Each structure stands twice: as structure tokens, then as C-alpha cells.
Amino acid sequence: MKLSVALAQINPTVGDLAGNAALIKSSVQSAQSAGAHLIVFPEMIITGYPVEDLALRPSFQAASINALEEVASQIKGDIVAIVGYLDKGPQNAVAVIHEGKIKARYVKRHLPNYGVFDEFRNFTPGTSDLVVRIHGVDVAVAICEDIWHSMDAVAARKPGLVVVPNGSPFERNKDDVRLALVQKRAKEIGAPLAYVNMTGGQDDLVFDGDTIVVDKAGALIARAVQFEDQLLIVEIDCAESSSTPDVVISDDVAAPAKTANGLIAPRLSDQAEMWAALVIGLRDYIKKNGFKSVLVGLSGGIDSALVAAIAIDAVGAVNVHGVAMPSKYSSDHSVEDAAALASATGISFRTISIEPMVESFLSNLLLKGIAEENLQARVRGTTLMGISNQEGHIVLATGNKSELAVGYSTLYGDAVGGFAPIKDIYKTDVWALATWRNAQAVANAQTPPIPQRSITKEPSAELRPDQKDSDSLPDYSLLDQVLRLYVDEDHGFDALLKDGFDEVLIRRVISLVDKAEYKRRQYPPGAKVSGRAFGKDRRLPMTSRWNEI
């Protein structure tokens, strides 16, 4: 028979139990209007996800349970809702709700403890499966990580449908991995599988939706848009009375659904995915933390230009404030390019010369060489934070992953800020995304936001006469190749030699990366978009005598 299943791809906020409950209520009402028989929400939708150590607080557990019971009391009529929440234990659980009551509960059995996940720390695992009969269809429930492990026990129960609530963060190319896994599990179990994921940003994580439904042969029958909220309603052909359920909610044949929108949304390109993730990560960090506007130090270079463009798409040009802070070493084109970006996009823009402040420091402190260079960066950082404090903007740090990797930044200088939008993309990605964003503007008959000269000119910190990044670093096209292998894939010295890189280059890059751990620990958070980001993904000691070379 056909079971009409609504998959609520929505954007919760951690800790906003009332706001999340309102999202659930709205989605249930929409699903009922469409005649859906079952609605499935993402993992821990009541509390938002991930809650980290909030899970350990008895008060938060109690609040989650109370919110769930209140939500359940409002779900009436012929619809079943599967709602994720935090249970006592603490446990990562879902409740099966019908006619105002919680009919069954399922607890996540497999807890991820890798990458950005610490669920062994925060939860206790479940020990049993759950199959619930809804309109004669035996529906099995799994939560996120559960399907990354053997589903033999579920397959043995011969369900007519498997539903999987998820809190699965975005990273490049992960959608293909998800689809392959969902197809594999459906074929192994011999039943359709509906996989629902959340959207939105949460600290340094971005959730991209990408809700998927496949039939029992693994064929894709519906897929939601990426990065956007959507109530995906799909009519799924399911076997009837195929199992021995733990709970029977209804045996009667379901009435036909009124509407369904189970189309297969087109996939975004790699660069479009990256852009959406960066924009949404910044947007939600600002919105969910109560900020209204952002402040960006505009150098005229590519990094600050890209950050400004991301911010404009995230919060609107009216809420983006740029400031150029030239010194005696700044070139004319730096200020010109910063002003050109402001003119093209309509953001607020001002120029503040740092030279008087720098000279004041130098008249009281004997600083030469690197110390004098870093002083300029720190005066800029202090200027930005002063404006932020006075006017209430959040400062955006503009460093990229290549710079963070090798420590090419100044603590309390260009590293200041509340969020770092491009900290998880390498310099070569910065250029590629800037070019892509400008091309999108042209394709839509808009003015490109990023000055072409910012993209094409040689990178420079402009802290001394005629300075270039290449004075201190290998060419970025080569550097990024080594960094991707050393940082993202843990290739050591010997492996990098086998990869074909020069020994002198390898030693230089490894030395720079390993010495910069203390700087990375003090850098602002930023959206994770790669398979391995600095921070939770890559945890190394600051004090260590281990030497890869």
C-alpha cells in the first residue's frame, strides 16, 4: 500500500525549546493539511543538535521531556509524528506520537565518537530495535549513526519501511556518500528507506538537509533541496503486515494523500554547495546569537573581499560595515579596491589611517622587524574591536585555512573577531569561490561584488615595503596540495615523499603547521565545510616534542 510520509527538513536552534516546538507544530499542521499519515523530524529536534554537555544537565533533560510532552499533547488527528528529543540517561531518543500521546520511544544505539562528534561523552546507547505498525505498515526506526553500522537486526524483522531522523553536518561531497549508504541499507533490509536531515548553522557546523527517500531496490524516488527548509511529502509503496511490531497504532488502510511533492531536487555544484554552507553558517551564527550586523576590515585583498561578499549574502549589505585601515606601507590600489567593493555592493564603508596610532606606540616602545610588522596588525585588530564595542557589530576574521595551517597570522591582530567565515577553506578555494561568485552575479545581470584586481593581484600583508606572501610561504597552489594531505588526510613525512613532494618543501610545511597549534586554539570559530576542519575535527596538543620530521 502507499503510505504518505512527510519529512520535516527544518532548522532548529539549540536550547530554544519553545521555538523548536513551534516549528514542529507548524510542520505537523502542514503535513495534516496535505493528508500525510506519518511525519518524521530530524534528530533531537526538540532541543536542537548537537547539545554537547547540555545533555548532562538534569534540568535540561527535564525541560526536553516536558517540551516533548507538551508537543505530543497538541498532535491530534490521524497522523503519527516521530519527534527527536533528549531523554533521561542522558539518551538521544525519538518519541512516536499519536492522538496526543507518546506511544513508543526509541533510543539511538550507535553513538559516533569521531570527527566533530563526542556522543560517548554525552549519551548512553539504546539496546533494542523498534517497529511500529501505522496503517498496516510496519515502520522501523533508526537514528543517524545507526545506519552507518550493521542493520541485520532490523532486516531480520522485515519492516515495510525504515525511517531515519538525522543530524548530519555538511562537508564537501558528503551527499554522495549519504545516498550510497541509504541505497545500500534499503536493499539489504528489503524495504524503502526515508532519511530526513536538518538545515541551518550551529556554532561551527552547518546542516544541509539533503533529505532522501529510496524504494526497497535502492532507487531514488525523492530528494529535498539542499540547505533550505522543506516539508517533503512522499507517497511510498510499502509492504503491509510484514513484521511483528512492538506497538500497533493502526491496522486500517490509509486514505489516499491529498498532495505530495516528492520530487528529486537538482544537486548544487561543488562551489554552490560551499557558498551556501559558508553563507548559512555565518547567517545562523549571527541570527541565533542575537547579533544584527557585521564589521569587516577591508584590505583590498581577496580574503577580506570574499568574507564581505559572504556576509552580504548572509545578512544583507545594509548590515555589513567595512573599514579600510591603511598604513604607510599600504598601496594605493589596496584602498581603491576596498572602496570599489563597497561601491559595488552598497555596504557602509569608512577609512581610518592607523599610522598615527602606530607611531604613538613606536614612540613609547622599541619595536623593529617582525615586532613592528605585527604591531600594525594589532593596531588594526584593536581598531576593529573598538568599533565593534562602540557600535555593536560582530567582527569577522578574514583568515583562510592555508594561513591558519602555517600560522600566517598575528594573534590579537588579524586574528581578532567573533566568527571566521573562511577558516576552513584553503587559499586556492578562496580564489575559486570569488571567481564563481562574480560569475553568478554576471549570470544574474548583477554587479560582481568582488573587484577583479582583488582576485588577480599577488597576495600581500603589506606590513613592510614591497612585501608579498610568497616571501614567507611556498606558492599557494603547491602549499595547498601539501596541506590537504598533511592536515586533512594525516599523510606523514614518508607518505608525502611518496606523494612526490620535495623533501625541503615537506620539512618546511610540516614545521610551520606543527608550530602554529597554539595560534589555531585562539582563533574564532567558523563554518566547517571540509572533511577535516581545525578544532574538534583535528585535536593535537600544543605542547608536544613529537616531530614528524
**CATH architecture type of domain 2-253:** 4-Layer Sandwich (3.60)
- What's the confidence (pLDDT) of residue 149? 96
**Which of 83, 82, 86, 144 is closest to 110 using CA atoms?**
144
| Residue-range domain boundaries for the chain | 2-253, 271-468
Is there a catalytic annotation at residue 43? yes
pLDDT at 405: 97
Catalytic residue among 43, 273, 373, 462: 43
Given a contact cutoff of 8 angstroms between Cβ atoms, the answer to whether 87 and 93 are in contact is yes
- CATH code: domain 271-468 is 3.40.50.620
What's the pLDDT score for residue 175? 60
CB atoms within 10 A of CB 173: 9
Q: Which residues contact 66 (CB under 8 A, 6 or more apart)?
A: none
Q: Could you tell me the three cell numbers for 32?
A: 495534516
Contact criterion met (CB below 8 Å) for 337 and 304: no
The Cα 263–Cα 526 span in angstroms is: 33
Residue 108 appears among annotated catalytic residues: yes
User: For the chain (length 549 residues), average pLDDT per consecutive 10?
Assistant: 95 98 98 96 98 97 98 96 97 98 97 92 96 97 96 96 97 84 97 98 97 97 97 95 95 77 89 97 98 96 97 98 91 90 97 95 92 94 97 97 95 95 97 97 96 88 71 89 96 96 95 95 96 92 89
Is 144 considered catalytic here?
A: yes
pTM of the full predicted structure? 0.95
Of the residues 52, 70, 101, 108, only one is catalytic, namely 108
Q: Is 394 helix (H, G, I), strand (E, B) or coil?
A: strand
Choice among 119, 144, 238, 401 that is catalytic: 144
